[in-house]
Homo-oligomer: A and B are copies of this chain.
Amino acid sequence: MTRAPQKRRLETRARLLEVAAAIVQEQGYSGLRVEDVVARAGVAKGTLFSHFKDKDGLLAVLIGDEVMRLLDGMEAGAPPQGAAELTARLAPHLDYVGQDRVIFDLLLRYSGTTAAEPDEVVTAGFIRQVTLLTRWLEVLQTAGRIRQDQPPELLAEGIQAFLNHVLGVWFCMEHDDETPPAKALEPYLKAWLKPAR
């Protein structure tokens, strides 16, 4: 008979996340070192890896939480009225992911998965985002403001592809180019959602 996780353990886990979030706040995602986290949390290194599969597993929870918060904001507002407005609604997401390559890499690594395990907040976020997009697109389709010849799921996943594309280009440019992701996304969305005969 296996026992449920005890209170003390959950506290430790919470403290680890708390400390990690604080360090990210101070030094950015790329500055997060496992040794710092465990030191400030007052636990041994092995403990961290008993709570999270690896460093990415820890980051996934942090980033997943943030994505969830962004999605709360997106869901709260009114659905977009047209293809152009869609870009604006996605801008917060692009801004967040675009600020640090670590976020982007991690989201890419997990964002295609459909099976959601307890800790996989990232995966859950991905599913939620595609679901939200699909719902929006359905509305736009019935309103006749975008193409109707494709299922909304396909269109939604296509938008995901474009999101990642413009972000990938953004990071490869190393910010020489001053075209922010949100701006770069527009032509793709316009062409992708344009009504077809």
Across the interface, A112 reaches (CB within 8 A) one of B112, B114, B169, namely: B169
CB distance from A117 to the nearest CB of B (A): 13
A52 located at the interface, meaning its Cβ lies under 8 Å from any Cβ of chain B in the complex: no
CB contacts under 8 Å to B, within A176-194, are 187-188, 191-192, 194
CB-based contact B112/A150 at 8 Å: no
User: CA of A109 to CA of B167 in the docked complex: distance in angstroms?
Assistant: 11
Report if A112-B162 is in contact (Cβ < 8 Å); known contacts: A195-B196, A196-B197. Answer: no
Interface size on A, as a range, is 20 to 34
CB-based contact A173/B108 at 8 Å: no
User: CA of A57 to CA of B173 in the docked complex: distance in angstroms?
Assistant: 17
CB distance from A161 to the nearest CB of B (A): 3
CB distance from A133 to the nearest CB of B (A): 14
CB contacts under 8 Å to B, within A94-127, are 108-114
Across the interface, A197 reaches (CB within 8 A) one of B108, B150, B195, namely: B195
CB-based contact B173/A113 at 8 Å: yes
Query: In the complex, which residues of chain B have a beta carbon less than 8 angstroms from the beta carbon of A114?
Result: 173
A66 located at the interface, meaning its Cβ lies under 8 Å from any Cβ of chain B in the complex: no
Query: In the complex, which residues of chain B have a beta carbon less than 8 angstroms from the beta carbon of A155?
Result: 191
CB-based contact A149/B110 at 8 Å: no
CB distance from A193 to the nearest CB of B (A): 10
User: CA of A164 to CA of B197 in the docked complex: distance in angstroms?
Assistant: 27
Query: In the complex, which residues of chain B have a beta carbon less than 8 angstroms from the beta carbon of A112?
Result: 168-173
User: CA of A173 to CA of B113 in the docked complex: distance in angstroms?
Assistant: 6
CB-based contact A158/B192 at 8 Å: yes
Query: In the complex, which residues of chain B have a beta carbon less than 8 angstroms from the beta carbon of A196?
Result: 147, 194-197
Report if A158-B191 is in contact (Cβ < 8 Å); known contacts: A112-B168, A168-B164, A172-B113. Answer: yes
A40 located at the interface, meaning its Cβ lies under 8 Å from any Cβ of chain B in the complex: no
Across the interface, A194 reaches (CB within 8 A) one of B111, B149, B160, B188, namely: B149
